[in-house]
Amino acid sequence: MPLPPRISVAKRPAGWSPGGPQPLAEPWPADCLPGDGEELSFLTGDFRILQLQRGHRWSLDDLLTAWWAVAPLPPTASLRHLDMGCGIGSVLMSVAWALPASRSVGIEAQAVSYGLLQRSLRINALTDRVATHHGDLRETQLDDRFDLITGTPPYFDIADGTVSDVAQRGPCRFETRGGIESYCEAAARHLAPGGRFVVCETALELQRVYDAAAAAGLAVRAQLDIIPRAGKAPLIRLFEMVRGDEATGEPPTCTTLTVRDEALRWTAEFAAVRARMGMPV
- 168 has pLDDT over 70: no
Alpha helices in the chain (DSSP H): 60-70, 90-98, 111-123, 169-173, 180-190, 206-215, 268-276
Q: Is the dihedral of CA 75, 78, 83, 86 positive or negative?
A: positive
- Closest C-alpha to 79, from 146, 155, 29: 146
Q: Residue 20 — very low, low, confident or very high, per pLDDT cuts 50/70/90?
A: very high
Q: Using one digit for the tens of pLDDT, what is the confidence trace for 186-232?
A: 999 999 999 999 999 999 999 999 999 999 999 999 999 999 999 99
Dihedral in degrees, nearest 10, Cα atoms 59, 98, 237, 205 = 80
pLDDT of residue 10: 85
Residue 211: what are its φ and ψ, rounded to 5°? -65, -40
Give percent of the chain with pLDDT exceeding 70: 92
For residue 2, what pLDDT band results from cuts at 50, 70 and 90? confident
Predicted local distance difference test score (pLDDT) of residue 161: 46
**What average pLDDT does the segment 164-185 reach?**
67
Give the CA distances from residue 128 to residues 100, 131, 254, 256, in Å, rounded to whole numbers and listed in that order: 11, 8, 37, 36
Closest CA relative to residue 101, chosen from 79, 69, 126: 79
163 pLDDT more than 90? no
Least confident of 85-89, 99-103, 148-152, 168-172: 168-172
Show me where the domains of the chain are located: 58-276
Whether residue 164 is predicted with pLDDT greater than 90 in this model: the reply is no
Beta strand pairing call for 38-42 and 6-7: parallel
Query: Is the predicted pLDDT of residue 170 greater than 50, yes or no?
Result: no
Sequence-ordered list of residues with C-beta below 8 angstroms from that of 122, at least 6 positions apart, any chain: 24, 29, 32
pLDDT digits (tens, 9 = 90+) for 26-39: 999 999 999 999 99
pLDDT over threshold 50, residue 8: yes
Task: Specify the fold of 58-276.
Answer: Rossmann fold (3.40.50)
How do beta strands 48-52 and 38-42 pair? Answer: antiparallel
User: pTM of the predicted model, to two decimals?
Assistant: 0.92
Res 165: pLDDT: 56
